[in-house]
Every structure is written in structure tokens, then in C-alpha cells.
Structure 1
Amino acid sequence: MYKLSASILNANFARLGDEIREVEDLIDELHLDVMDGHYVDNISFGLPVIGTLRKEFSSLVFDTHLMISHPERYWEEFIEAGSDILVFHLEATPKAFLILQRIKEKGRLAGISLNPATDVRLLEPVKDLLDRVLIMTVEPGFGGQRFLTPMLRKIEQAREILGDRVDIEVDGGINPTTIVEARSAGATTFVVGSSIFQSEDKRGEILRLREALAT
């Protein structure tokens, strides 16, 4: 099953609740990009926003992507705030194995994200603990970037290593054309932000993406 994860990074935060409500029945997950201004060159939002959204949207699946340094210090707080899926960067910590174990012990889905230049073969030691791998198809930190075509081969390699059990998510530059390319390479979950929330027809854009996936 293919899933759409709507990233709020490019939503209008002055009316964030209304923006999410406009599309919540058409999406599978809400993608929450947490940036600390250290691991990536941008600052987004953190625990208070996620906790508030969880109270407002109790039935949505929260797909939290930690683009932060030292995720080993903070992962549990993001679960307590309401994350259903917690993904952190392999490059950000030497304790990936331990974090994955503990996330799963808490009954949540655990995942690792890889930057474009990171070798996908580094997943081998932890692949049995993974529920999801997030392949960054742009450099992390900012929305609205163009899809990096060389990442298609990386998606294929990830699928070869992980088999069919693990969900492969892609994030960056997803539109009706690139979503088909990423699906063909082996991706199953697609993070879409600016093409939804910067569109005058948000619902129509989601339907176009779903139509592309169905072809």
C-alpha cells in the first residue's frame, strides 16, 4: 500500500489547524519536520507544536522526522508528545541501534533517515530493527527543493537490502512525475509538502498525486 505523508513545513502556521483539516481525510500521515538549527541550517518547531497538534488531531498518524543533533537525548519526549512513527538521522548519532530498540520497546514504529551522500549499505547492521527508512531526495533543511534524480538508484539499493518488510519513505521534490519514478524504484511512502500547502487547490493536488500512484 502506498501512503502520502503531508509535511506541514510549508503550511501557513497562522492557520495551521485549518490547513491540516482541509486535507486530513485525503492523507495517510502528517509529516512533522523537527529542525534544530544545528544538525540542519534551519529551525522549524518542536515538542509544544506536536503536543498541541496531537490534542487537535487525535486520529492522524504522526510521522515525526528528527533533523536534530543527539536524537538519543530527545527521542522519548517526542513519543510522549504524540509521535506514532519516529525517524532520526543515522548521521546524527553513534547510538542508532540503541535508539531503534528503545523506540520499538515503547510500541512505536522506528526509522532511520539518510542524507543524499550517505551510503545506504550502512543500514545493514540495524536493518532488522527498522520499520521505515527515509531516503532524503533533497538536502535536508528546507522545503521546495528539486528532486535529486540519482536518489532513485539509492531507493533501489535500499529495497534490495531491506526486502519487502520495511517501508521506504522519500522526502523532497515529490510531485506527480517524481512520485511515479520513486514508486517504480521501490518507495512506498511519499512526503509531500510545498506542492500541497502552497497550492491554491490542496485537495486537488493530493488527488493528482494519488492518481499518479495508481497509474
Structure 2
Amino acid sequence: MNYDFNFDIHIMVNSPINIIKKLNLTNKTTVIVHNECGGVEESVNFLKSLNIPVGIAFNPESDISLRYHEIVKKILLMTVIPGFGGQKMIKKCVNKIDVVKRIYNDNVFVGVDGGVNLKTIHMISKSDFFVVGSEFFRSVDKGSYILDLKREYYRNK
């Protein structure tokens, strides 16, 4: 597959290695696996051996770990309990953006996933990226919605 942009693959399963080995990955792909899933270390080491950028996602109740600090390029903070879309953001999770930046010394990109919409985007302005799901797919004019999100996000940076 030829493409000239980077993208993330967010794998939310136990034993992510089984999925990862089936993917045609390049160094333009960051694979994000969940800290709480079984087989994370095996997945991280496999990706590292292929020089594929790695990210770790942390669930709302999880403590931020330094375990992979020399390997990961991205930390994805889940601000909802993973499992289904359309949930409201757990606002106390937003404070973890500062925690990650302090622990990882700004050496990773910090993202937020869960409950991100036009009403909550201002709260995550310290993040480096964000994921939008349900709200985007429910929007009538997707292009305008993305522009509005970007405008609100950068207004608060």
C-alpha cells in the first residue's frame, strides 16, 4: 500500500500481537495498544523489532506507567471506559495530560480519546492530538464539523 501520510491503528483487543502480525505495517503507521490488554509487552517488542512507532493507551482508571518510556512515541489517554461509542467524557481524566507530559518529559505525543466534541474540546487543548468518533459520524456536514473542532482546539492552545 502506498500513501504519503501517517496514520494510527488503535487496537483494542486482548493479545493484540495476533492482529498486528496480520497487518502490512510501515514506519508511517503508529500502532497503539492498550496497557491493560494481555500480551502488550510482546506486541511492543515485536513492533520495536520492525521499527514501527508504538503508542500505548491508558484506560481512565489506570495509573500512567513509565514502563515503555524509551519505546513509545504516543500515549493515548482514554477519557471514557472503552467498549462503545457515544459516551460522555470523564472530565477528571483530562488532568492526566499534564501527568504524562511531566513523566515523559514531553518526549511523546499525548492524545485524548473519548467524549471529544465541540463542547469538550477546550478541555483538552494541552493534548497533542485527539480522536473523535460518534459526534463526527452524527454530524451532517463533516467538513464543517472538522473545521469547527480544529478552530476550537487551536483557540484554546
Query: TM-score w.r.t. structure 2 length?
Result: 0.87
2:149 is aligned with 1:209: yes
- The answer for the alignment partner of 1:119 in structure 2 is 63
2:134 is aligned with 1:190: no
Q: Distance in 2 between matches of 1:94 and 1:77?
A: 16
Size of the aligned set, in residue pairs, is 154
8 Å CA contact 1:76, 1:103 repeated in 2: no
Unaligned runs of 5+ in 2: none
Higher relative contact order (CA 8 A, sep 6+): 1
Superposed displacement of residue 94, structure 1: 4.9
8 Å CA contact 2:32, 2:56 repeated in 1: yes
- The answer for the alignment partner of 2:30 in structure 1 is 85
Q: Distance in 2 between matches of 1:94 and 1:71?
A: 7
2:95 is aligned with 1:148: no
8 Å CA contact 1:195, 1:205 repeated in 2: no
Superposed displacement of residue 107, structure 1: 2.7
Q: Distance in 2 between matches of 1:86 and 1:128?
A: 16
Q: Pick one of 174, 198, 207 that aligns with 2:116.
A: 174
Q: Distance in 1 between matches of 2:50 and 2:121?
A: 32
Q: Distance in 2 between matches of 1:60 and 1:144?
A: 28
RMSD over aligned Cα atoms: 2.0
Superposed displacement of residue 137, structure 1: 0.5
Unaligned runs of 5+ in 1: 1-53
Q: Distance in 1 between matches of 2:47 and 2:16?
A: 11
SS in 1 for 2:57: strand
SS in 1 for 2:7: strand
Identity among equivalent positions (%) equals 31
Q: Distance in 2 between matches of 1:197 and 1:134?
A: 21
Q: Deviations over 1:26-81 (max 9, x none)?
A: xxxxxxxxxxxxxxxxxxxxxxxxxxxx68xx345331111101123332223x16
SS in 2 for 1:134: strand
Query: TM-score w.r.t. structure 1 length?
Result: 0.65
Q: Distance in 2 between matches of 1:165 and 1:81?
A: 23
SS in 1 for 2:9: strand
- The answer for the alignment partner of 1:66 in structure 2 is 11
Structure with greater helix percent: 1
